[in-house]
Amino acid sequence: MRTQTVPLYWKVCLINGAVFLAGTVALLFFPVSVSRRPLVSEAVVLTLGLTVMLVLNALLLRASLAPIDRVVRQMAKVDLLEPGQRLPGGAGGPGGHLVASFNAMLDRLESERSSSDARALAAEEEERHRIARELHDEVGQQLTVVLLGLKQVQQRAPAELVDELELVRESARAGLDDVRRVARELRPGVLDDLGLHSALAALATGFSAHGGATVRRSIAPGLPALPPATELVVYRVAQEALTNAARHARATSVELTLQRLGDRVVLGVEDDGRGLPAGASGAGVRGMRERARSVGGVLELTGSPGKGTRVRLSVPVEAT
């Protein structure tokens, strides 16, 4: 059976009543009186008595109300994107129960948000997969047919039209390459077929080849196998970090590393770009944090204007 505690309202009333009762008893049993014209000694006695009553009242109320102030301050600054923000417990009474309830509420909110993020990210990946498949199967095949048709037309066309048809074929071929590249970015097949190591290598090579910054990669050998969902998160964070380095930071050189530190695998992406602006919290950064949190990972962004940016993602290694 749950223990019934005294409501905070009645506890405050009882504390104040006890203090005033103590003051009344003191006036009854101690030879203290006040003249019609109060003397200095009488004023001193009354002042001391009032001071003792106020201090005693404050000390008794502090134990009950101080936890409430801590909860109010924590509620004003709590951020669900930064999990683990809890108030120290251990105190009894209504304040202690309030702190425990507040921490339990944060546990539930973080758990529900993590589950919601995981479902949203799974749906997003499924939609990416569908769009990539349609691009590859529908648009890619249609462009291939166009290329074959242009080739046949070019063989039968008059000599003065051959060069123009060749330009059209080159444009169609470039469009087909772009469609295939977008499909690979939407759904990295190499990640499913060859694993995270090869997928990151292909990502870095493709990033450098398409006008991005020069990427130096260092992937430690013998890394433990990660769950497919975790591998996808590592890949997506690396992809977003490289994109930000080229699009926003205007970096010319990026270093990508993947290694094991203790019971975690750590991805690092460091660039020499313009640096991280103060209070940076765009959609890309929020997306990376949500992905990291969905697999129990921790994302850290460091940097300052003019000194580049470093993205560090650490994900747990499952025990085998």
Name the residue ranges covered by the structural domains of the chain: 8-112, 194-320
Is-contact 246 277, C-beta < 8 A?
no
Beta-sheet strand order (sheet of 264-271): 214-219, 253-261, 264-271, 309-316, 298-303
Question: Residue 63: what residue type?
Answer: A
DSSP codes joined into one string, 265-319:
EEEEEEE-SS-PPTT---HHHHHHHHHHHHTT-EEEEEE-TTS-EEEEEEEEPPP
Q: Span 218-224, mean pLDDT? A: 88
Residue in the block written with tokens 């009186």: 33
Residue that wins the pLDDT comparison between 272 and 4: 272
Per-residue pLDDT of 134-150, as tens digits, reads: 887 788 888 888 888 88
CA distances from 50 to 53, 63, 145 (A): 5, 21, 96
Mean pLDDT rounded to a whole number for the chain: 78
Neighbours of 153 (CB within 10 A): 14
- Quote the CA–CA distance of 239 and 236 in Å, as a whole number: 5
Per-residue pLDDT of 27-76, as tens digits, reads: 666 665 555 565 666 667 667 777 777 777 777 667 666 777 777 777 77
Look at 185-189, 222-226, 290-294 and tell me which has the smallest mean pLDDT: 185-189
Neighbours of 190 (CB within 10 A): 16
Q: Span 9-31, mean pLDDT? A: 69
Is-contact 191 232, C-beta < 8 A?
yes
Neighbours of 49 (CB within 10 A): 16
Q: What is the pLDDT of residue 28?
A: 60
Tell me which CATH code domain 194-320 carries. 3.30.565.10
Write down the number of H helices and E strands in the chain: 9, 5
The model's confidence at residue 97, banded by pLDDT at 50, 70 and 90, is confident
Paired with 218 in beta bridges are 257
Q: Which of 102, 63, 68 is nearest to 85 (CA)?
A: 102
- Quote the CA–CA distance of 173 and 176 in Å, as a whole number: 5
Q: What is the pLDDT of residue 2?
A: 45
102-108 long-range contacts, CB within 8 A, separation 24+: 102/71, 102/74, 102/75, 106/78
- Quote the CA–CA distance of 183 and 206 in Å, as a whole number: 13
CA distances from 159 to 149, 166, 282, 306 (A): 17, 11, 54, 56
